[in-house]
Homo-oligomer: A and B are copies of this chain.
Amino acid sequence: MAAAQAGSLDRLFHALSDANRRGMVDRLARGPASVKELAEPGSLALPSAMKHLRVLEEGGLVRSQKSGRVRTYSIEPHALGRVEAWLAERKRGLNLQFDRLEAYLADGDAAEPTGTEA
């Protein structure tokens, strides 16, 4: 456990690794928008915007639904929660490391601060 699926996080972080896509997330954080509206801020052609949106969708960050001729995208509410969860896990690990380091610095004859074994 704890490492749900690798591929899922791959897609999530990859989705966030592009400024245009993060811009779309920011835009969608203020409310739903159409493909065209999402394309404009980055001066993207529609096909390019669509690719980005597909990446965001595969990363689980946004949802979409088509009505008439316009497809409306919106934020996947729990999307950022996955980033947060991952982050919390690592920070836990780091805190442990620092705790050991502090313990090591505190009483000089304790074991080494972990990590350089083997």
Contact = CB atoms under 8 A, between A and B. Distances in A.
Number of copies: 2
A33 B17 CA distance: 26
The interface residues of chain A, by DSSP majority, are classed as helix
A114 B26 contact: no
The contact size tier of chain A is 35 or more
A20 to B, nearest CB: 9
A102 to B, nearest CB: 13
A46 interface: no
Given A9-B22, A13-B17, A17-B14, A90 B29 contact: yes
A33 B89 CA distance: 20
A19 B8 CA distance: 10
